[in-house]
Structures are given as C-alpha cells and as structure tokens.
Amino acid sequence: MGRRPLADSVRNDHFGRQLQRYRNRARLSQNALAGLSTISVRAIRNLEMGKVSRPRVTTVRLLADVLRLTAQEKTDFELAAAGENAGGVMAAPHGSPAPTPSPLVGRDLEMGAVLRHLWSEHHRINTIAGLAGVGKTHLALAIGAHAHNAEAAAVLRVRAVPDPGRAFGANGFGASGFDANGFSRLDTADLADLANPAGLAGLARRIDGRKTLMIIDDNDRDAVGREAMWRLLRECPRLSILETRRSSDHVGTNYHLFLGPLTTDGDAPPARERADCEPAVALLLEALSELRPDFSPTPEGLEKLAEVCAQLDGLPGALQSAASWAAILSLDEVVEMSRTEPQTLATNPSGSFDPVTMAREATRRQRGLQNSLLRAMSESSESADGWTVEEVADRLNLSRIAAAGGLQALRQDGLIVGRVRADGQRMRFRVLNLVRAFVRQEWVLDAARTC
C-alpha cells in the first residue's frame, strides 16, 4: 500500500487538530464523545490522528452538534473536513445577518421580480444585466441579504473580476475571508478551480444539500462559464445562481432582468412630494445625507435635485458621484455642472465611477442597425422629447418591425430609456444624456479624423 499524498496528510491533520481542540474545550474524553455522538472510539481516534482520508458529512455534523460549535466554527469544521482552510469559503446558513452596503432605493419591483424566480426549479440561473453604475451589484447583494436573513440560505459570493479599488484588499476581502457586506469569499485560486472537475466536485461537497445562493458578480467574460454552473446545479439540488453582467446577449440564462436607470420624471408632482415619487431623487438625498448631515432641502432645493437626477439619467453610480461633488460645492454649482459638464459631475472624485468608460464599453458593443440607430438618435436634435417607433422607422427608412427590434436591443443594453408621457398616447425613447454626450464627442472626433 503506497504512502498518502502530502496534501491529504496535511488536510487530515488539520481536521484532526480541530477535532481534538474542540473535544478538549468541551472536556470530553474520546470515550465520552463516542457515546454522545454514536461514533466509535476507534473512528474518533483515527480522525484525530488524520488517518481518515475523507470524513463523512454525517459524521462531521454529529461531532459538531455534540461539541456545540458556533455557526462559524461549524462552517470551518466542515471545510477542514473537505480539505479547505478555515476562514470560510461559504457563509453559514445561520448566524449574524448579512447587511447590504447601503439602503436599496427604488428597486422594490426589480427585487421582487428576481425573488419570484430565484428558487424556482425552472429558473436556477438568473442574470441581472445593465450598464456600469446602474446598481446591479447593489441589487444582487440586497437579494443575497434577503436570502440569508429571511430564507436561512447560505450565500456564496464570487467576484469574477478583481476590484482593486475596494478597501478590503485586492479581491474585496479582509483577512477573515468575509467582505464588507458580510459575504464569504471565493478567491482567485478557487475561481480557477471552477474550471476543472475536481474543483467543482469539492465545491459541490461543501454546498452539499444546503439551500444556497451563489452570486457571481461581473461575469461578462464568463470567468464562471455555463458548463461549470450546470455541473454544480446538477450536483446541488438546492443551489440557485444569480450573476451580474453588462451585456444582455448571453444565452443559457433561465431568467434575465434588464436593470435600467432609476425613474427621474413622471407627472411633475409638487416639489414636497418629489422625493417620495422619484427614486432617483430619494437616492441622491440618501447619499447627500451621509456626506452632509446638515443638508435639509427646501421645496426649491428638491426641484434642483430633480433636475440633477434628470441630467444624470437616474444612474445610481452617477448620482453617488454628484453627491460627492455636492459635499464640496453649493447646490447651485452642482446644478450648473449638470447642465454644462454632466460627464464631469458623473465622474466620482474618488474614481469609483467613470461615465466615459461606461459609455465607451456600452456603445462599442453595438453593431449594424443598433449602431446606426444610436448615432441617429444621439446626433439629432429634432426630437427633444424622444422618438417613437414610427419616427425611428421613418427617419432610417426601416420597417416598423426592424425599428422596434433595434430599439428593444438598445433598451436591453441600457443605452436608451422609454417613457409614456403624461398624455398617455405613445411610448417615446431617448438616449441617456451621458451616452449621447459621448457619442457626439466621438462623432466630432471621427469628423476631424476624416478632414
């Protein structure tokens, strides 16, 4: 019989030391632990000595219950048995609530729509798609917090793209393995493991039969591919997956939510009611109150905030940037910037949101009809109130079906918004102000290059 691989020996010794430590803390002999857990003394001795290559899940849980481990200790104990380092790869299904980073404003309908599909056997892969800065991650984290707190589900967050801007390290996590939102990590090495059968099998064992939500953030480059997702879903019957991505053209998703900007206009309610009626204004007020606790808007001030929101398209990332500017400028200065320099106002001084990069990425994904339609709607000033399907068809000499298809594609990519005006007669579409400003700049540069 050959020697055990070094990795197996290290893994089993680690679990054995944990077992022995918890047993000594409980002041139990091996005989006493065996009697309480219904596990043989010989099996406990072999576990502590690292002679068992893969402890059974039921054995590990029986021991954890008798030893009265906390939720986090139980998670680390199970991970050690599966060959993972302590510190947590997956949040336990019970324990302290998982908070969202800040209040979720104006997304009740969208959150409800995702939750209706999330645990359905027919909608096990769910996607939230939209522009950068539209609030996809925030919504996904709110859904994760709900799954953890209200439904006792384990929550596993996978960040497909490292975010060096986070205060919690290169992947957004501290030494404990948990990020600022209370979710556990799947670091770069484990992300690579999802590309091979052995890594997937290990993750499936850790998830086991627990009700689990896996949040895969920024998955545009398919760091976690559909094949890997379906392998996990087949092995884990109570697992659901929620991913965020910027593009809306991916296949293999059971449910797809296209997340647009927050509402900025309506039937022009009185100023005192505007914060309640317009989610964008409510979000801007929330952000301002955090940076300027003394800020108390008058009815006139609410009207100014509403104009800023409209100029910035109701994009949450842009509104957060405007709040940062409002911490060092007067409200009148912020309004003037929204009129003359919307891209500058939408650029966060801390560098966390860049509208130019957002617009460049989104517009360069457009091809053929969508590209022509986007440029026509951006460069023309003939329809200040937006374009109807018929106007688009007439302007570009298209059939009504082709025009509708082009508008639908642009809307799903978040580049245009559609609103029914107060007369309630026709849906009119307009390009986001920040996107239109970028397209016009590109048009000027293209004209200069051809001269």
How many residues does the structure list for the chain? Answer: 451
Residue 166 above 50 pLDDT?
Answer: no
Do residues 56 and 129 share a domain?
no
Q: Using one digit for the tens of pLDDT, what is the confidence trace for 48-79?
A: 888 876 788 778 888 888 888 876 677 677 77
Domain boundary among 297, 319, 353: 353
346 located within any domain: yes
Picking from 270, 249, 253, the residue whose alpha carbon sits closest to that of residue 216 is: 253
Distance CA(429)–CA(378), nearest Å, equals 11
Do residues 122 and 206 share a domain?
yes
Sign of CA dihedral 423, 108, 347, 268: positive
pLDDT at 165: 39
pLDDT at 210: 84
96 located within any domain: no
Domain boundary among 338, 353, 368: 353
In b/e form, how buried is each residue of 313-330, taking b as 16+ CB within 10 angstroms?
bbbbbbbbbbbbbbeeee
pLDDT at 338: 92
197 located within any domain: yes
Do residues 346 and 364 share a domain?
no
Q: Using one digit for the tens of pLDDT, what is the confidence trace for 100-140?
A: 456 778 888 899 999 999 998 888 999 999 888 899 989 99
Do residues 227 and 276 share a domain?
no
Do residues 118 and 250 share a domain?
yes
Domain boundary among 353, 384, 409: 353
Residue 179 above 50 pLDDT?
Answer: no
Distance CA(299)–CA(42), nearest Å, equals 76
101 located within any domain: no
Q: Tokens representing 390?
A: 């018929």
228 located within any domain: yes
Inter-helix orientation angle 299-311/316-326, to 10°: 130
Question: Rounded to 5 degrees, what are φ and ψ at 214?
Answer: -100, 120
Q: What is the CATH number of the domain that holds 68?
A: 1.10.260.40
Do residues 376 and 338 share a domain?
no
Do residues 112 and 254 share a domain?
yes
- CA distances 273 to 170, 279, 305, Å, are 42, 11, 13
SS3 423: coil
Q: Using one digit for the tens of pLDDT, what is the confidence trace for 342-400?
A: 889 988 877 667 777 888 878 877 778 888 888 888 876 555 678 889 988 998 899 99
Number of domains the chain contains: 4
| Beta-carbon contacts of residue 161 (< 8 Å; ≥ 6 apart) | 217, 218, 220, 221, 223
- pLDDT more than 90, % of the chain: 14
pLDDT at 287: 86
Picking from 370, 444, 442, the residue whose alpha carbon sits closest to that of residue 408 is: 370
Range(s) of the domain holding residue 161 = 108-258
Residue 419 above 70 pLDDT?
Answer: yes
Confidence of residue 332 (pLDDT cuts 50, 70, 90): very high
Give the pTM. Answer: 0.68
Q: Tokens representing 380?
A: 């023309």
SS3 81: helix
Distance CA(225)–CA(69), nearest Å, equals 36
Report the mean per-residue pLDDT for the chain.
Answer: 76
Q: Using one digit for the tens of pLDDT, what is the confidence trace for 250-274?
A: 566 688 899 988 877 543 444 433 4
115 located within any domain: yes
Q: Using one digit for the tens of pLDDT, what is the confidence trace for 272-329?
A: 334 444 788 888 988 888 888 878 878 888 899 999 998 998 989 899 899 999 888 9
Amino acid at 196: N
Confidence of residue 4 (pLDDT cuts 50, 70, 90): very low
Q: What is the CATH number of the domain that holds 390?
A: 1.10.10.10
Residue 87 above 80 pLDDT?
Answer: no
User: Which helix (H) or strand (E) covers residue 417, if one does?
Assistant: strand 416-420
Residue 334 above 90 pLDDT?
Answer: yes
Do residues 136 and 179 share a domain?
yes
11 located within any domain: yes
Do residues 128 and 143 share a domain?
yes
263 located within any domain: no
Three-state SS annotation for 190-229: HHHHCCCHHHHHHHHHHHCCCCEEEEEECCCCCCCCHHHH
Do residues 396 and 284 share a domain?
no
Amino acid at 399: S
Do residues 430 and 328 share a domain?
no
Do residues 231 and 176 share a domain?
yes
Q: What is the CATH number of the domain that holds 252?
A: 3.40.50
Distance CA(211)–CA(201), nearest Å, equals 17
* 8 A C-beta contact, residue 274 and residue 306: yes
Mean pLDDT of 174-188: 39
